[in-house]
Amino acid sequence: VFKARMGLGATRSSGRCPCPWQCSLNWITFKGWVRSVRSQKEVLFLHINDGSSLESLQVVADPSLEKRDLTFGSAVEVQGKLVKSPHKMQNMELQAETIHVVGPCDIWSFPLKMKERHPLEYVRQFPHLRCRNNTLGALLRIRSEATASIHSFFQDNGYVHIHTPIITSNDCEGAGELFQIEAKESVEKSHFFNVPAFLTVSGQLHLEVMAGAFTHVFTFGPTFRAENSQSRRHLAEFYMVEAELSFTESLQDIMQVMEDLFKTVTSTVLSKCPRDVELFHKYVAPAQKVMHVTGKNCNPVIISYSEAVEILKQAPQTFTFKPEWGCDLQTEHEKYLVKHCGEVPVFVVNYPYDLKPFYMRDNEDGPQHTVAAVDLLVPGVGELCGGSLREERLPFLESRLQRYLDLRKFGSVPHGGFGMGFERYLQYILGVDNIKDVIPFPRFSHSCLL
């Protein structure tokens, strides 16, 4: 309780309070980084932040404790008595007895400045320091809570967590956006694994294997795509949440899990990190565009791909890519569809057979041939999740793919699943424009800092 209230930087000090009663009550050591120094004639004020929340602890000290290297950005260890603050701004303050500068900070070359709200594009240049910035600090705490909440959501609903491999010999999506891996010091010229090996683009095929023994499985790990894109929603390394459900024959079941996951995780994040989220909604999300991520505004609508194309064809605006049945939905189309539906999440179901990967289930529906696929589009971001029923029928698959087939020979059941891009999720709930600002160390084409 003490740590939760005081932050991670606080420990009860072993020393004795120098008061006449030598009490040890509220006598603490607090460690963190200086956010502000204000020196007055009678008193020295410091604000120290230990990363546990946006709030810094106010330290009051005798001006004699001021030192030259006690500056903004320095790391300090303060011993003193924690008391109720007479100032309205904070609950508690620390009356310092000793202040030890553990690591001084060269403020002239330190790129972050005291009490300045730096733009995200600016702090992005300093991947090794931006975690000390309020916005990135808040983001990283939210990311951590959201991660824990995603795991709890699945565990609470009976899913088994599977560590799907990062090194794989398949190209699940068949889109060819693969990073190939080789041992650096290849003794022979042959492949290390005897076969070409890649960084995973999706854990789906491994989850499908496991869905042959457990009815509900999930994975949540790093995913890699050699997408030659600098766009504000693509990374070369991102985190994907994936779930696979056996014994399901309806896309509705899959959509329900996506929706429940989104609502549960979002309400947990809002209740556990209200101040961190507020920072984004107040200062980061584009003006007048704060995402309403709870309540009625997050109740999704469902339309078919064919309906979506009709809506786009009747749109009063012209698109760079002319909407046509059989063509992929472009970002501009996704944006229009979300707006058309009232800026709420939109499930688009039943895509053309020829647009989607081999594993999606054939709807056997005549000339406009579709598969049981679903994409979830959300305001400001576009595609957040992609999923489908899987083709579990051997003859249907035989015509498409030779591998994957064995799985269908030994107790094959109808199943389906989906993947959600974790960074896009954070972008959406926080209203962050660029995906590079919701991951600690962004990797994208032509950039791999640190």
Residues at the interface with ligand 4AD (CB under 6 A): 172-173, 202, 204, 225, 227, 234-235, 238, 240, 242, 383-387, 417-421, 423-424
The closest alpha carbon to 136, from 51, 74, 33, 57, belongs to: 51
> For ligand 4AD, which is the closer residue by CB, 118 or 263?
263
Residue 61, strand partner residues? 44
- Residue with CB nearest Mg ion? 386
Least gap, CB of 93 to ligand 4AD (angstroms):
43
Query: Which amino acid would we find at residue 448?
Result: C
Chain-centroid distance of CA 341 in Å reads 25
Tell me how far, at minimum, the Cβ of 240 lies from ligand 4AD, in Å. 5
From the number of C-beta atoms within 10 Å of its C-beta (0-12, 13-18, 19+), residue 124 rates as middle
Q: For ligand 4AD, which is the closer residue by CB, 46 or 438?
A: 438
Q: Which does 242 bind (CB under 5 to 8 A by kind): ligand 4AD, Mg ion, none?
A: ligand 4AD
Least gap, CB of 195 to ligand 4AD (angstroms):
21
DSSP 450: -
Nearer Cβ to ligand 4AD, position 310 or 362? Answer: 362
Would you say 31 or 232 has its CB closer to ligand 4AD?
232
Q: Which is nearer to Mg ion, 34 or 435 (CB)?
A: 435
With respect to ligand 4AD, which residue has the nearer C-beta, 87 or 163? 163
CB nearer to Mg ion: give 212 or 387: 387
Strands (E), 56-118: 57-61, 75-84, 92-103
CB of 205 to ligand 4AD, least distance (A): 8
- List Cβ neighbours of 70 (8 Å cut-off, separation of 6 or more): 34, 37, 46, 76, 99, 101
| DSSP code per residue over 33-46 | EEEEEEE-SS-EEE
| Alpha-carbon gap, residue 334 to 328, rounded angstroms | 10
Q: How far is the CB of 302 from Mg ion (least distance, A)?
A: 17
Q: How far is it, in rounded angstroms, from Cα 268 to Cα 143?
A: 12
CB of 61 to ligand 4AD, least distance (A): 47
# chain residues binding Mg ion, by CB under 5 A: 1
Considering CB distances under 5 to 8 angstroms, the limit depending on partner class, which of ligand 4AD, Mg ion, none binds residue 291?
none
For residue 242, CA distances in Å to 92, 198, 267, 340 come to 43, 19, 20, 29
Name the binder of 423 from ligand 4AD, Mg ion, none, CB < 5-8 A by kind. ligand 4AD
Partner from ligand 4AD, Mg ion, none contacting 173, C-beta within 5 to 8 A by type: ligand 4AD
Round to whole Å and give the CA distance between 52 and 54: 7
* Rg for the chain, CA atoms, rounded: 27
Q: How far is the CB of 210 from Mg ion (least distance, A)?
A: 21
CA-based end-to-end distance of the chain = 36
Check residue 308 and report its DSSP letter: H
Kindly tell me which of 110 and 396 has the beta carbon lying closer to ligand 4AD: 396
Rounded distance, CA 141 to CA 54, Å?
10
- At its nearest, how many Å lie between ligand 4AD and the CB of residue 99? 44
Of the candidate spans 53-61, 102-110, 202-210, 379-387, the one that interacts with Mg ion by CB under 5 A turns out to be: 379-387
Q: Among 7, 380, 386, 416, which residue interacts with Mg ion (rule: CB under 5 A)?
A: 386
Choose among Mg ion, ligand 4AD, none what residue 134 binds, the Cβ cut-off being 5 to 8 Å by kind. Answer: none
**Considering the rule CB under 5 A, would residue 352 count as an interface residue with Mg ion?**
no
CB within 8 Å of 49: residues ≥ 6 apart: 32, 33, 35, 55, 56, 57, 137
What is the C-alpha separation between 261 and 274, in angstroms, rounded?
19
User: Which residues form the interface with Mg ion (CB under 5 A)?
Assistant: 386
